[in-house]
Amino acid sequence: MPFSQQIFQQKLLEFIEVCSDGYAILSADDKMLGCNQAFCDIFYQDQRTIQDISFNDLMRLSYREGKGVRFEADNIEEWLAQAQQKRRQNPFRLFEVDLTDGRWFLMSEQILPSGEMLIQAKEITKQKVLEHQLYSKVESLSELALTDELTKVANRRCFVDSVEAELARCQRSDKPAALLLLDLDFFKSVNDSYGHQAGDEVLKATANRIKKALREYDIFGRIGGEEFAVFLSETDPSTALHVAERIRVILADYPIKAGVAELCVTTSIGIALTHGESNFEELYLQADSALYMAKRNGRNRAELFALLSE
């Protein structure tokens, strides 16, 4: 071997030993031939401890001591069986590993034709933290885009999109549905008499009470101002009227505390029922027409559009 090649190999070993990346070489039968200290540090071991250890035994040691790899499994043998289905299936493999101490590593496995495997472990904790922060911000922005800021229920855009999807499903399965349009009675007088902060408290309390009166899968949103809407899938006229009455009562019979004042708030409700190929715009106009009739007939009541059209 030329002298220059010897120097190269010696320097390479020196660099690997002080490198922050972990390196390990496994034999064809998966036993540790050698590794640097950075690789040992991943498992909280030293080089003497894991010399000649098999891959399976190294994982068992890590599992038993609770240090090193974070195992998403209750049984290490089951985990090893699953891991062996992926290992050595291709000449090169790249994957991420998170540790019990919160660190993350990008691991690569390179297999020689003779069967030896070179493992490199590069820490990517900072990148994963940034990735998590970015994901959280995207989630927050998405939630803001779909949620009414004041009442924390679906905003108009989110409500309409959800209703259109559910309406299409109901029509495919030939199931009835209903749209309830709610408007708080004399809400302007609340703002004029008690201020906009009191009005905001009324809107938040109203949204919370309506949610409690609904089924988990009903779609509920704030359309704008003091107007709310509810979509009831697979719902017949009598059930729609029953839900509307439950909402009306839960608002009318229990005053809302807004600052030092206790305000009695009522709502008028218009109900539209699906028929044939109904779309959201048609249902909304029908519910709005029924809502107008509820206001004209004295407020604090529900009216059904289907009955008006007969």
Residues serving a catalytic function are: 226
d(CA 106, CA 84): 18
Separation of alpha carbons 287 and 272, rounded Å: 5
For strands 302-304 and 267-273, give the pairing.
Answer: parallel
Q: In what helix (H) or strand (E) does residue 306 lie, and over which residues does it extend?
A: helix 305-308
Q: Tell me whether strands 32-35 and 22-26 are parallel, antiparallel or unpaired.
A: antiparallel
In angstroms, the CA 197 to CA 215 distance is: 29
CA 4 to chain centre: 57
Alpha-carbon torsion (246, 252, 254, 256), positive or negative: positive
Backbone dihedral angles phi then psi of residue 283, each to the nearest 5 degrees? -60, -40
Can you give the C-alpha Rg of the chain in angstroms? 32
Interior angle at CA 129, CA 127 and CA 135, nearest 5: 100
Torsion 37-42-46-47 (CA) sign: negative
Cα 40 to Cα 53: distance, rounded to the nearest angstrom: 12
Q: Which of 105, 114, 109 is nearest to 90 (CA)?
A: 109
Residues 6+ apart with CB under 8 A from 146: 154, 155, 157, 158
